[in-house]
A and B are shown apart, each in its own frame.
Chain A
Amino acid sequence: MNKDAVILIAEDDPGHIELVKKNLWRSCVGNNILQFKDGQEILDFLFKRDDKAKRGERSFYLLLLDIRMPKVDGQEVLRQIKEDEELRKIPVIILTTTDEASEVDRYYEMGCSFYMIKPADYNKFMEAVENLGAFLSLDGVRVPLINGVGAS
Protein backbone atom coordinates (compact mmCIF):
# COMPACT_ATOMS: atom_id res chain seq x y z
CA MET A 1 0.00 0.00 0.00
CA ASN A 2 1.14 3.60 -0.49
CA LYS A 3 3.85 4.18 2.12
CA ASP A 4 2.21 7.42 3.25
CA ALA A 5 -1.14 5.76 3.91
CA VAL A 6 -2.24 5.48 7.54
CA ILE A 7 -4.04 2.40 8.84
CA LEU A 8 -6.85 3.29 11.25
CA ILE A 9 -8.01 0.58 13.65
CA ALA A 10 -11.29 1.07 15.50
CA GLU A 11 -11.51 -1.71 18.09
CA ASP A 12 -12.52 -1.67 21.75
CA ASP A 13 -10.67 -4.86 22.76
CA PRO A 14 -7.05 -3.93 23.63
CA GLY A 15 -5.95 -7.55 23.18
CA HIS A 16 -7.33 -7.66 19.67
CA ILE A 17 -5.65 -4.35 18.78
CA GLU A 18 -2.28 -5.66 19.92
CA LEU A 19 -2.75 -8.88 18.01
CA VAL A 20 -3.75 -7.05 14.84
CA LYS A 21 -0.83 -4.61 15.10
CA LYS A 22 1.68 -7.38 15.81
CA ASN A 23 0.61 -9.48 12.86
CA LEU A 24 0.42 -6.59 10.44
CA TRP A 25 3.96 -5.76 11.46
CA ARG A 26 5.02 -9.38 11.01
CA SER A 27 3.67 -9.20 7.46
CA CYS A 28 5.96 -6.22 6.81
CA VAL A 29 3.20 -3.61 6.83
CA GLY A 30 5.29 -0.51 7.52
CA ASN A 31 2.44 2.00 7.49
CA ASN A 32 1.62 4.17 10.47
CA ILE A 33 -1.20 2.83 12.58
CA LEU A 34 -3.65 4.89 14.64
CA GLN A 35 -6.03 3.23 17.07
CA PHE A 36 -9.47 4.25 18.31
CA LYS A 37 -11.28 2.56 21.15
CA ASP A 38 -14.86 3.24 20.10
CA GLY A 39 -16.99 4.46 17.22
CA GLN A 40 -17.26 7.99 18.57
CA GLU A 41 -13.48 8.44 18.59
CA ILE A 42 -13.03 7.35 15.00
CA LEU A 43 -15.91 9.56 13.81
CA ASP A 44 -14.53 12.54 15.72
CA PHE A 45 -11.17 11.96 14.06
CA LEU A 46 -12.49 11.57 10.53
CA PHE A 47 -15.08 14.33 10.71
CA LYS A 48 -12.58 16.55 12.53
CA ARG A 49 -14.77 17.12 15.56
CA ASP A 50 -11.93 16.43 17.97
CA ASP A 51 -9.35 19.16 18.63
CA LYS A 52 -6.72 16.76 19.93
CA ALA A 53 -6.74 14.02 17.34
CA LYS A 54 -8.18 14.90 13.98
CA ARG A 55 -7.18 13.86 10.52
CA GLY A 56 -4.87 15.90 8.36
CA GLU A 57 -5.94 18.04 5.43
CA ARG A 58 -4.51 15.70 2.80
CA SER A 59 -3.96 12.10 3.83
CA PHE A 60 -4.42 8.53 2.70
CA TYR A 61 -6.35 6.16 4.95
CA LEU A 62 -7.58 2.62 5.23
CA LEU A 63 -9.87 1.63 8.12
CA LEU A 64 -10.11 -1.68 9.96
CA LEU A 65 -13.46 -1.52 11.74
CA ASP A 66 -14.91 -3.63 14.53
CA ILE A 67 -18.71 -3.79 14.76
CA ARG A 68 -19.51 -4.15 18.45
CA MET A 69 -18.03 -1.10 20.16
CA PRO A 70 -19.22 1.24 22.91
CA LYS A 71 -20.95 4.59 22.24
CA VAL A 72 -21.24 4.28 18.45
CA ASP A 73 -21.08 0.87 16.79
CA GLY A 74 -19.28 -0.06 13.59
CA GLN A 75 -22.41 -0.13 11.49
CA GLU A 76 -23.14 3.51 12.27
CA VAL A 77 -19.50 4.44 11.64
CA LEU A 78 -19.59 2.75 8.23
CA ARG A 79 -22.91 4.44 7.39
CA GLN A 80 -21.61 7.91 8.19
CA ILE A 81 -18.34 7.38 6.30
CA LYS A 82 -20.05 6.07 3.17
CA GLU A 83 -22.59 8.89 3.17
CA ASP A 84 -19.88 11.55 3.11
CA GLU A 85 -18.80 12.61 -0.39
CA GLU A 86 -15.09 12.63 0.48
CA LEU A 87 -14.75 10.07 3.27
CA ARG A 88 -16.62 7.42 1.29
CA LYS A 89 -13.43 6.85 -0.70
CA ILE A 90 -11.73 5.30 2.34
CA PRO A 91 -11.57 1.50 2.04
CA VAL A 92 -13.23 0.01 5.13
CA ILE A 93 -12.49 -3.56 6.11
CA ILE A 94 -14.86 -4.97 8.73
CA LEU A 95 -13.15 -7.15 11.34
CA THR A 96 -15.76 -8.70 13.57
CA THR A 97 -16.91 -11.68 15.57
CA THR A 98 -20.50 -11.45 14.32
CA ASP A 99 -21.07 -14.01 11.64
CA GLU A 100 -24.69 -13.99 10.63
CA ALA A 101 -25.06 -14.28 6.87
CA SER A 102 -27.57 -11.43 6.80
CA GLU A 103 -24.96 -9.16 8.38
CA VAL A 104 -22.41 -9.85 5.64
CA ASP A 105 -25.00 -8.90 3.08
CA ARG A 106 -25.95 -5.66 4.82
CA TYR A 107 -22.36 -4.45 5.25
CA TYR A 108 -21.49 -4.97 1.60
CA GLU A 109 -24.66 -3.15 0.66
CA MET A 110 -23.51 -0.24 2.83
CA GLY A 111 -20.18 -0.19 1.03
CA CYS A 112 -17.57 -2.01 3.10
CA SER A 113 -14.58 -3.22 1.08
CA PHE A 114 -14.32 -6.60 2.78
CA TYR A 115 -15.97 -8.38 5.68
CA MET A 116 -13.72 -10.56 7.76
CA ILE A 117 -14.77 -12.71 10.72
CA LYS A 118 -12.23 -12.91 13.53
CA PRO A 119 -11.68 -16.62 14.10
CA ALA A 120 -12.29 -17.63 17.74
CA ASP A 121 -9.12 -19.72 17.70
CA TYR A 122 -6.08 -17.60 18.57
CA ASN A 123 -3.73 -19.12 15.97
CA LYS A 124 -6.32 -18.88 13.23
CA PHE A 125 -6.95 -15.26 14.13
CA MET A 126 -3.21 -14.56 13.85
CA GLU A 127 -3.06 -16.32 10.50
CA ALA A 128 -6.06 -14.38 9.18
CA VAL A 129 -4.49 -11.04 10.15
CA GLU A 130 -1.20 -12.15 8.60
CA ASN A 131 -3.00 -12.87 5.34
CA LEU A 132 -4.61 -9.45 5.51
CA GLY A 133 -1.20 -7.93 6.24
CA ALA A 134 0.46 -9.75 3.35
CA PHE A 135 -2.13 -8.18 1.10
CA LEU A 136 -1.86 -4.67 2.55
CA SER A 137 1.93 -4.79 2.32
CA LEU A 138 1.74 -5.06 -1.48
CA ASP A 139 3.38 -2.15 -3.27
CA GLY A 140 0.59 -2.07 -5.82
CA VAL A 141 -2.29 -1.46 -3.41
CA ARG A 142 -3.38 2.17 -3.77
CA VAL A 143 -5.69 4.06 -1.46
CA PRO A 144 -6.91 7.50 -2.52
CA LEU A 145 -6.07 10.90 -1.16
CA ILE A 146 -8.68 12.23 1.27
CA ASN A 147 -8.99 15.98 1.22
CA GLY A 148 -10.03 18.26 4.03
CA VAL A 149 -13.14 19.45 2.24
CA GLY A 150 -16.39 17.52 2.27
CA ALA A 151 -16.59 16.66 5.95
CA SER A 152 -18.20 19.07 8.33
Chain B
Amino acid sequence: MNKEGVILIAEDDEGHFELIKRSLQRAGVCNEILRFADGQETLDFLFVKGDGPTREPDKEYLLLLDIRMPKIDGMEVLEKVKNDSELKKIPVVMLTTTDDPRTIDRCHKLGCSIYIVKPVEYQDFAEAVRKVGLLLSVVEVPQIDGMPKAKGVVK
Protein backbone atom coordinates (compact mmCIF):
# COMPACT_ATOMS: atom_id res chain seq x y z
CA MET B 1 0.00 0.00 0.00
CA ASN B 2 1.24 3.42 -1.02
CA LYS B 3 2.47 5.70 1.79
CA GLU B 4 -0.17 8.27 0.88
CA GLY B 5 -2.96 5.71 1.25
CA VAL B 6 -5.28 6.11 4.21
CA ILE B 7 -6.38 3.28 6.49
CA LEU B 8 -9.96 3.67 7.69
CA ILE B 9 -10.87 1.85 10.89
CA ALA B 10 -14.56 1.51 11.72
CA GLU B 11 -14.55 0.35 15.31
CA ASP B 12 -16.82 1.42 18.18
CA ASP B 13 -14.56 0.06 20.92
CA GLU B 14 -11.91 2.65 21.66
CA GLY B 15 -9.61 0.11 23.33
CA HIS B 16 -9.73 -2.11 20.27
CA PHE B 17 -9.05 0.85 18.02
CA GLU B 18 -5.94 1.85 19.99
CA LEU B 19 -4.67 -1.72 19.92
CA ILE B 20 -5.25 -2.01 16.15
CA LYS B 21 -3.53 1.31 15.49
CA ARG B 22 -0.49 0.48 17.63
CA SER B 23 -0.16 -3.01 16.16
CA LEU B 24 -0.26 -1.70 12.59
CA GLN B 25 2.43 0.80 13.48
CA ARG B 26 4.53 -1.97 15.01
CA ALA B 27 4.38 -3.74 11.64
CA GLY B 28 5.92 -0.65 10.07
CA VAL B 29 2.68 0.68 8.60
CA CYS B 30 3.05 4.46 8.72
CA ASN B 31 -0.05 5.40 6.73
CA GLU B 32 -2.54 7.91 8.01
CA ILE B 33 -5.20 6.21 10.11
CA LEU B 34 -8.74 7.53 10.58
CA ARG B 35 -11.23 6.20 13.09
CA PHE B 36 -15.00 5.99 12.81
CA ALA B 37 -17.01 5.09 15.89
CA ASP B 38 -19.99 3.68 14.01
CA GLY B 39 -21.29 2.67 10.60
CA GLN B 40 -23.02 6.00 9.99
CA GLU B 41 -19.79 7.97 10.40
CA THR B 42 -18.04 5.58 8.00
CA LEU B 43 -20.70 5.92 5.32
CA ASP B 44 -20.87 9.71 5.73
CA PHE B 45 -17.11 9.88 5.16
CA LEU B 46 -17.10 7.62 2.11
CA PHE B 47 -20.28 8.94 0.48
CA VAL B 48 -19.35 12.55 1.31
CA LYS B 49 -22.38 13.39 3.45
CA GLY B 50 -23.02 15.18 6.72
CA ASP B 51 -20.89 17.73 8.54
CA GLY B 52 -18.00 15.51 9.60
CA PRO B 53 -14.80 14.70 7.71
CA THR B 54 -15.27 13.31 4.20
CA ARG B 55 -13.01 11.57 1.75
CA GLU B 56 -10.92 13.28 -0.89
CA PRO B 57 -10.81 12.33 -4.56
CA ASP B 58 -7.90 10.42 -6.12
CA LYS B 59 -6.75 8.84 -2.89
CA GLU B 60 -6.12 5.26 -1.84
CA TYR B 61 -8.24 3.89 0.96
CA LEU B 62 -8.47 0.58 2.76
CA LEU B 63 -11.17 -0.17 5.31
CA LEU B 64 -10.90 -2.30 8.45
CA LEU B 65 -14.50 -2.93 9.39
CA ASP B 66 -16.05 -4.14 12.63
CA ILE B 67 -19.52 -5.70 12.39
CA ARG B 68 -21.30 -4.92 15.64
CA MET B 69 -21.46 -1.15 15.81
CA PRO B 70 -24.13 1.38 16.84
CA LYS B 71 -26.51 3.06 14.36
CA ILE B 72 -25.44 1.14 11.23
CA ASP B 73 -23.62 -2.18 11.50
CA GLY B 74 -20.64 -3.32 9.46
CA MET B 75 -22.62 -5.64 7.19
CA GLU B 76 -24.73 -2.74 5.96
CA VAL B 77 -21.64 -0.59 5.48
CA LEU B 78 -20.06 -3.38 3.43
CA GLU B 79 -23.18 -3.77 1.33
CA LYS B 80 -23.42 -0.03 0.57
CA VAL B 81 -19.72 0.27 -0.25
CA LYS B 82 -19.75 -2.76 -2.56
CA ASN B 83 -22.90 -1.58 -4.34
CA ASP B 84 -21.30 1.72 -5.34
CA SER B 85 -19.52 1.55 -8.70
CA GLU B 86 -16.50 3.53 -7.46
CA LEU B 87 -16.30 2.68 -3.74
CA LYS B 88 -16.55 -1.06 -4.48
CA LYS B 89 -12.85 -0.97 -5.38
CA ILE B 90 -11.89 -0.28 -1.74
CA PRO B 91 -10.47 -3.42 -0.10
CA VAL B 92 -12.55 -4.15 2.99
CA VAL B 93 -11.09 -6.30 5.75
CA MET B 94 -13.69 -7.53 8.23
CA LEU B 95 -12.24 -7.52 11.74
CA THR B 96 -14.85 -8.74 14.17
CA THR B 97 -15.68 -10.89 17.17
CA THR B 98 -18.53 -12.53 15.20
CA ASP B 99 -17.51 -16.08 14.33
CA ASP B 100 -20.66 -17.26 12.61
CA PRO B 101 -20.55 -19.21 9.31
CA ARG B 102 -23.62 -17.41 7.95
CA THR B 103 -22.06 -14.01 8.58
CA ILE B 104 -18.75 -15.15 7.06
CA ASP B 105 -20.65 -16.42 4.03
CA ARG B 106 -22.68 -13.24 3.64
CA CYS B 107 -19.67 -10.94 3.91
CA HIS B 108 -17.79 -12.85 1.22
CA LYS B 109 -20.85 -12.82 -1.01
CA LEU B 110 -21.08 -9.06 -0.60
CA GLY B 111 -17.42 -8.74 -1.53
CA CYS B 112 -15.23 -8.30 1.54
CA SER B 113 -11.55 -8.93 0.80
CA ILE B 114 -10.94 -11.09 3.82
CA TYR B 115 -12.66 -11.93 7.09
CA ILE B 116 -10.76 -12.08 10.36
CA VAL B 117 -12.11 -13.10 13.76
CA LYS B 118 -10.54 -11.02 16.54
CA PRO B 119 -8.61 -13.24 18.92
CA VAL B 120 -9.85 -12.98 22.51
CA GLU B 121 -6.39 -12.69 24.11
CA TYR B 122 -4.84 -9.24 23.97
CA GLN B 123 -1.44 -10.49 22.79
CA ASP B 124 -2.95 -12.67 20.06
CA PHE B 125 -5.09 -9.78 18.88
CA ALA B 126 -2.06 -7.51 18.67
CA GLU B 127 -0.09 -10.18 16.80
CA ALA B 128 -2.95 -10.78 14.35
CA VAL B 129 -3.19 -7.09 13.50
CA ARG B 130 0.59 -6.89 13.12
CA LYS B 131 0.31 -9.62 10.46
CA VAL B 132 -2.48 -7.72 8.73
CA GLY B 133 0.01 -4.83 8.67
CA LEU B 134 2.66 -7.05 7.08
CA LEU B 135 0.18 -7.98 4.36
CA LEU B 136 -0.76 -4.35 3.76
CA SER B 137 2.90 -3.52 3.26
CA VAL B 138 3.11 -5.85 0.23
CA VAL B 139 -0.20 -5.27 -1.58
CA GLU B 140 -1.32 -2.58 -4.02
CA VAL B 141 -4.47 -0.61 -3.30
CA PRO B 142 -6.44 1.32 -5.95
CA GLN B 143 -7.12 5.03 -6.00
CA ILE B 144 -10.72 6.03 -5.56
CA ASP B 145 -11.57 8.74 -8.05
CA GLY B 146 -14.20 11.39 -8.25
CA MET B 147 -17.14 11.70 -5.97
CA PRO B 148 -20.04 9.32 -5.49
CA LYS B 149 -23.43 10.16 -6.93
CA ALA B 150 -24.94 10.76 -3.49
CA LYS B 151 -23.02 13.97 -2.86
CA GLY B 152 -26.05 16.25 -2.88
CA VAL B 153 -25.73 17.25 0.77
CA VAL B 154 -22.24 18.70 0.49
CA LYS B 155 -22.03 22.44 0.95
Binding site for B on A (CB under 8 A): 88-91, 99, 101, 104-105, 108-109, 111, 113-117, 127-128, 131-132, 134-135, 137-145
The number of A-B residue pairs with CB atoms under 8 Å apart is 93
Interface size class on chain B is: 20 to 34
- Is B83 on the interface with A (CB-CB < 8 A)? no
Q: B51-88 CB contact bits vs A (8 Å, 1 = yes)?
A: 00000000000000000000000000000000000001
Any chain A CB within 8 A of the CB of B30?
no
Interface of B is mostly: mixed
Nearest CB of chain B from residue A108's CB, rounded to whole Å: 4
Query: In the assembled complex, which residues on chain A have CB atoms less than 8 Å from the CB atom of B119?
Result: 139-140
Q: Contact at B113–A114, with CB atoms within 8 Å? A: yes
Give the residues from 73 to 129 in chain B that come closer than 8 angstroms, CB to CB, to chain A: 88-91, 99, 101, 104-105, 108-109, 111, 113-119, 124, 128
B residues in contact with A116, CB < 8 Å: 138-140
Shortest distance between the CB of B67 and any CB in chain A (Å): 12
Q: State whether A135 and B131 are in contact (beta carbons under 8 Å apart), knowing that A91-B113, A114-B139, A117-B140 are contacts in the complex.
A: yes
